């Protein structure tokens, strides 16, 4: 029997993913509702949440955004995904998640809260890249800020071209 190679729509359907505001597709798979919540400056949060997150050729970019919580990313399958991180001091870090560990691609990536983060699907034979994210304290949209292109460029003008590429022009 020959196994068919899944395409992006197969993965979206199988995992019941929906469009994400930053780009790509997601579904929450876990929240620690059997544990006490954690108090944060913006209110109580689950101790931990987890999602599937998928980038596709049709939605290849997770736009720059800022999270308050720490996030652990885990690569599952498909094409590699490049992460661009702008730290508080303005420095840029670029990392690639993927299955080619001999090419220094990462299977796991920690992104501390308080960093501007964007992701983009790299070209490959699959047409999608699938990861999971574990977030602590648990993810809440109130703790996430989508980048305003003008503001982020003013904050980090040395990264103007990248910011323009990985944000939406809202005005």
Sign of CA dihedral 148, 151, 156, 161: positive
pLDDT 10s digits, 56-65: 999 999 999 9
In a domain, 75, yes or no: yes
CATH number at residue 84: 2.60.120.10
Residue 170's pLDDT is: 66
Region 142-147: mean pLDDT is 94
**Residues of the domain holding 86:** 8-106+115-165
Number of domains the chain is built from:
1
In this model, does residue 171 exceed pLDDT 70?
Answer: no
CA angle 110, 111, 115 (to 5 degrees): 170
Region 117-146: mean pLDDT is 96
In a domain, 1, yes or no: no
In a domain, 94, yes or no: yes
In this model, does residue 76 exceed pLDDT 60?
Answer: yes
In a domain, 76, yes or no: yes
């Amino acid at each position: 029997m020959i196994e068919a190679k899944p395409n992006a729509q197969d993965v979206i359907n199988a995992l019941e993913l929906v469009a994400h505001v930053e780009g790509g597709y997601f579904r929450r798979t876990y929240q620690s509702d059997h544990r006490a919540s954690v108090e944060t400056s913006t209110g109580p949060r689950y101790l931990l949440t987890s999602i599937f997150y998928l980038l596709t050729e049709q939605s290849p970019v997770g736009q720059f955004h800022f999270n308050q919580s720490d996030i652990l990313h885990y690569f599952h399958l498909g094409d590699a995904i490049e992460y661009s991180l702008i730290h508080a001091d303005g420095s840029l870090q670029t990392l690639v998640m993927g299955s080619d560990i001999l090419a220094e691609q990462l299977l796991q990536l920690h992104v501390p809260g308080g960093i501007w983060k964007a992701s983009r699907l790299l070209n490959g034979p699959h047409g999608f890249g699938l990861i999971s994210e574990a977030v602590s304290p648990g993810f809440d949209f109130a703790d996430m800020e989508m980048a305003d292109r003008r503001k982020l460029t003013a904050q980090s003008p040395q990264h103007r071209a990248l910011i323009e590429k990985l944000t939406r022009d809202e005005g």
